[in-house]
Amino acid sequence: MKVILAQPRGFCAGVVRAVETVEQALEQFGAPVYVRHEIVHNQHVVQTLRNKGARFVEALDEVPENAVTIFSAHGVASDVESEARERQLRVLDATCPLVTKVHNHGRQYAVRGYQLILIGEAEHPEVIGTMGQIPAPVALVRNVAEAQALTFPEHTPMAYITQTTLSVDDTRAVVEALKQRYPQIVGPDTRDICYAVQNRQTAVRALSLCTDLVLVVGSVKSANAMTLCDIAGAHGKPSYLIANGNAIRREWFDERTTVGITAGASTPEALVDDVIAALARIGPLEIETLPGREEHVQFRLPTGLIARQ
């Protein structure tokens, strides 16, 4: 079996920053530290941090007074920030800087009087946080049909922002539908979608062209991992979203199969290694890495933490 690894794959700079925030908080302040929502959407990462002393909660009323509290990489609404201040919690904000950039764009548009459209998935924590950061009504659309169904008057000042983890192609189609419906609409270029998401989507497209089957290592909760699986499928290749090597099924393969492997932005490389090990139990492997964009982005840790030397 030939195995081809996508490049880049796995952890992005925002996830690295979020995970290191929890680890450094545990090291500096001791256990427990409290994390609102899963720090990133990967159970392996969450359980590893839980074993070290992190406690994951869905609401701040589960956090004791004055406790060290970390906001996840997905961001939170402004009323969550206010509640944390009122309860005098020691907050470390691990919101991905690229999500914060979306919040800033949205607030700027709102202040300037635009009717704001958010392209995203209603139940995703990033979308919930973003909508809660905008001091004005926000209309949420997920697809072209919903964009075409908007009923704002034709000359309404309009602007859009996007969830960072969406498919670039799908988002571009929604933006085009918005522009047809409201030619005066303004917003960031689709290139402003998270660089890591774009890079991984580009890599999985290239992977789909040279493989018979694609395995995407990641969580079903991870929007960007599910998108990678969808992109591979759209290129006519069987694609499977798997959490780890235990999800491998022998019937997916034959001895002539060329298998592509990629991983969502919240997936640690250890889980990719676990999948490779599972494939190796089926038979001998020939492994190579597809050429792709190298990422060197690094984000500073939140204020209040000292970076490792």
Show which residues are catalytic: 126
Taking Cα atoms as reference points, which of 18, 20, 113, 118 lies closest to residue 71? 18
**Do residues 120 and 163 touch, judged by C-beta distance below 8 A?**
yes
The span from the CA of 172 to the CA of 174, in Å, is: 5
Q: Per DSSP, which regions of the chain are E strands?
A: 2-5, 33-36, 54-57, 68-71, 90-93, 115-119, 138-141, 158-162, 213-217, 239-242, 258-263, 286-289
**Do residues 87 and 64 touch, judged by C-beta distance below 8 A?**
no
Q: What angle do CA 255, 256, 258 make, to 5 degrees?
A: 110
**Do residues 159 and 117 touch, judged by C-beta distance below 8 A?**
yes
